A and B are shown apart, each in its own frame.
Chain A
Amino acid sequence: MHRCAATVAAAVCLLGAVTAFDRAGSPPARAAIADAAVRVVRFTAAGSAVAVQFAGYAGGGRTMSVPAGTAPTARGYAPLAPGLYVVTVRSALPVSAVLTTRVQPGAAYTVGVLVRAGTVQAVLVHDDLTAAPPGFGRVRLVLAGAVASRAAVTLAAGPMLADAAPFGTVTGYHTVRAGSRRVTVTSATASGVPRSATTRAVAEVAIPSGSLTTLVVVDAPSGGLAVRAIIDAVGARRSPGGPVPAGGGGTVAAPAHRQSGPSAAVMGVLELLGVVALWAALHAALVATRRRRLAKRRNAW
């Protein structure tokens, strides 16, 4: 029984030593639950004021608005707790749009409002915050120009952002080299871009390194099309590699064995030997006590 108990105790201590070693080598990753970020953008050039309400199923929410104007207007992002929301878009026009969406932690969303022929169209798009490689930015396109039912949009030296895409199209992000880039917009039909396609707009846009940009094709005041750039998110132009070294260890109680250098595995063995030694001492004491009592009994006889 004694041997069995000692073996189990030693196993427990050995397990503790191994656990300590593993803990030091790979602490568990834990991430905070972050809010999402939401914003409202009126993509079309002209339009009345728009109010967008995020009403949470579990309560809470937020109301955001963009004023009336003659140019695309982006309201800055605002934090919003993750959860399920009903998104209601209201404007001076008689039509309201209602969307339902689940807002994910740490994600960003844009409610895009497009007005065409007196009709309000609302789209809820996920703004993918994936970082671009150093020297690159990420670009997406929104077609909000009503004068061309379809359009093709290319960046100089590629890529093609849209090919005969209809009004209201919102593309995903493309990774492109940062810097000043020329954007060309041509009219198109449902079957593609005709050879005689009319160039409707040419613009120079700045693509900052590490940024996310939305290019919006809108109706120009002169009657054609124009391109507007909206910065969605910005990151470091160049991210440092690896973690941040920021501590000297002066507030950590240094165990004597760690100061002298042995590894955690060695310490585990030493701890195990300590337990065995303790067991041996206790066992010896018990045996000695038993012998003394037996000796007393013999003497008494």
Chain B
Amino acid sequence: MRRLAANGVFLAILLAGTVAATVSAVGYQAIQRSVVHRSGAAGARAPATVALPPSAPVRLRISAIGVNAVVQPLGLLADGTLQPPSAWQAAGWYDGGVMPGDLGPAVIAGHVDSISGPAVFYRLRQLRPGDHAVVQRRDGRLLTFVVDSLAVYPKVAFPTAAVYGPTPLPTLRLVTCTGDFDWRAHTYLDNLVVSAHLRAGPGIRGGDS
């Protein structure tokens, strides 16, 4: 009887270990999947073509996740990588790329967190297809982008061509960090990329339905 009880204790340990390992793995995959969504129905969205005079973005508003941030221009560092925004609560537009509203991918990056708490894009992963991101240009014009998809990429295999490469639509890509944090390198292991397309608006010619 005592031997039976002892066996039960060890089986309980074994079961607990197995459950812990399974929950750990499944939980990670669930977190990854939770930020990947299928785009909305195409028919529900209005396409847009633009012919706007150049004007840099100065502010980004995403009401769905409480973002209202200044946008600063970003260049490249000496090693050719994108310069991160200098302020935790500011977003940064890669000014060597495409201007928001123009044909192609305009890239705006923001920190997910600072060294002590949430930063400007902390809730970016909560965006859903159909949410709006509004870019204010220096000339005062507001451009509304509609979220199409979210994708997580490991930094070791960051798809530069997919993020910065040619697109046939005026596109906005919002980029931040996500995933596990490497405490030795002090960096996140993944990037989250939100893709959105320009919605037709004043001064922007829309297409057919």
Give A residues with C-beta under 8 Å from B: 1-2, 5-6, 8-9, 12-13, 15-16, 19-20, 23-24, 26-35, 37, 39, 60-65, 75-81, 108, 127, 129-132, 210-212, 231-252, 254, 258-259, 261, 263, 275, 278-279, 282-283, 286, 289-290, 293
Pairwise interchain contact B14-A5, C-beta atoms closer than 8 A: yes
- Contact across chains for B82 and A37 when beta carbons are under 8 A apart: no
A239 to B186, CA, bound (A): 24
Q: In the bound complex, how far is the Cα of B99 from the Cα of A15, in angstroms?
A: 49
Indicate which residue in A19, A76, A80, A242 contacts B25 across the interface (CB closer than 8 Å): A19
Question: What CA separation (Å) do A23 and B81 show in the bound complex?
Answer: 25
B42 within 8 A of A: yes
Per DSSP, chain B at the interface is mixed
**Who on chain B is nearest to A74 by CB?**
B49
Residues of B within 8 A of A60 (CB): 41-43
Docked-complex contact A35 and B165, CB < 8 angstroms = no
CB distance from A270 to the nearest CB of B (A): 15
Which of A132, A247, A258, A286 has its CB near the most chain B CB atoms (within 10 A)? Answer: A247
Residue on B nearest A28 in the bound complex, by CB: B32
What are the 5 tightest A-B residue pairs by CB atom distance, in nearest-first order?
Answer: A76-B49, A234-B104, A78-B47, A5-B10, A247-B177
Complex CA–CA separation, A246 to B177 (angstroms): 5
Q: Tally A-B pairs: CB < 8 A.
A: 295
B interface residues (Cβ-Cβ under 8 A, vs A): 2-3, 6-7, 9-11, 13-14, 17-18, 20-21, 24-25, 28-29, 32-33, 36-39, 41-43, 45, 47-49, 76, 79-82, 84-85, 88, 94, 96-98, 102-105, 107, 109-119, 121-122, 148-158, 160-169, 175-177, 179-184, 186-191, 195, 197, 205, 207-209
CB distance from B38 to the nearest CB of A (A): 5
A10 nearest in chain B by CB position: B17
Contact partners of B3 in chain A: CB under 8 A: 1
Query: Does the CB pair B169–A37 fall under 8 Å?
Result: yes
